[in-house]
Amino acid sequence: MEPDLRLEKRLWRQGYQRVVGIDEVGRGALAGPVTVVGVLLQPGLERIPQELKGVRDSKKLSARQREAIYLPLTRADYLSWAAASSSAGVVDKAGIVKAIEQAIKQVVRKLSPVDFLILDGQLSLSWPLEQYSLEKADQKIFSVAAASIIAKVRRDRWMVHYHSLYPRYNFQQHKGYGTREHCQALATLGFSPVHRKTFRVSWQKG
């Protein structure tokens, strides 16, 4: 399945000019932030530019493929984007749903004014802003797929940085997710400052 511009074009025809595709990464991780990105395409864009034909749901791409498309994606003059993250501490304090919503609000403020949001999966925003949530939007909607790539690359880079600070957890390999290796490290070493302590049950079951 290749993402396309059909939904964005329909919304532009209906008069929504500032349509933002939103995706997040890091929801299920045991460590590190949850990162949200919004992508705002230039209204009236007729087709996906050739240099971005490889845009897909980030989970369908290898790390090398994501890195290769990240630069042309983030430097394109026919789109704007914004990113925001909620730290592990925010996740522990507010809960994962509220932490994601806080990050979405930051993204919307950065891209303001926004007319319409296209959100992946169960994402939503409790603001009086028109929005549409769609399962697997990151596989179907170009702006959401683009957001998923930017979010994934940025969060992965953070986890590589955390690896340099806490190398015994090997964050550069699993990026904070609950692999067997990560859960074993947690059982031996306990929490680092970037672990989500409220996710304790998740890693103990691992």
133's CB contacts (< 8 A; 6+ apart) are: 119, 120, 121, 122, 123, 124
Classify 54 in phi/psi space as left (phi over 0), alpha (psi -120 to 50) or beta.
alpha
> Is 106 a domain residue?
yes
Asked whether residue 203 carries a pLDDT value surpassing 90, the answer given is: no
Query: Is residue 99's pLDDT more than 50?
Result: yes
Where residue 59 sits, what CATH number does that domain have?
Answer: 3.30.420.10
Average pLDDT over residues 16-40: 97
Q: Compute the distance between CA of residue 127 and CA of residue 78 in angstroms, rounded to an integer.
A: 27
pLDDT for 119-146, tens place per residue? Answer: 998 888 888 899 999 999 999 999 999 9
pLDDT in tens, 55-70: 999 999 999 999 999 9
**pLDDT at res. 200:** 62
Tell me, yes or no, whether 87 lies in a domain: yes
Q: Mean pLDDT check: name the lowest of 98-102, 118-122, 191-195.
A: 118-122
Phi-psi region of 151 (alpha: psi -120 to 50; beta: other; left: phi over 0): alpha
Predicted confidence at residue 123, as pLDDT, reads 86
Residue 198 falls inside a structural domain:
no
Is 139 within the bounds of a domain?
yes
What are the phi and psi torsion angles at 37 (to 5°)?
-130, 140
Q: Can you give the residue range of the structural domain that contains 151?
A: 6-157
Residue 145 lies in a domain: yes
Tell me if 119 is assigned to some domain: yes
Which residue type sits at 187?
A
Question: Would the pLDDT of 106 be above 70?
Answer: yes
Mean pLDDT of the 3-15 span: 97
Q: Could you tell me the pTM of the whole model?
A: 0.94
> Which position has the token pair 């939503």?
124
Domain assignment present for residue 166? The answer is no
Residue 14 in domain: yes
pLDDT band at 43 (very low <50, low <70, confident <90, very high): very high
Structural domain total, the chain: 1
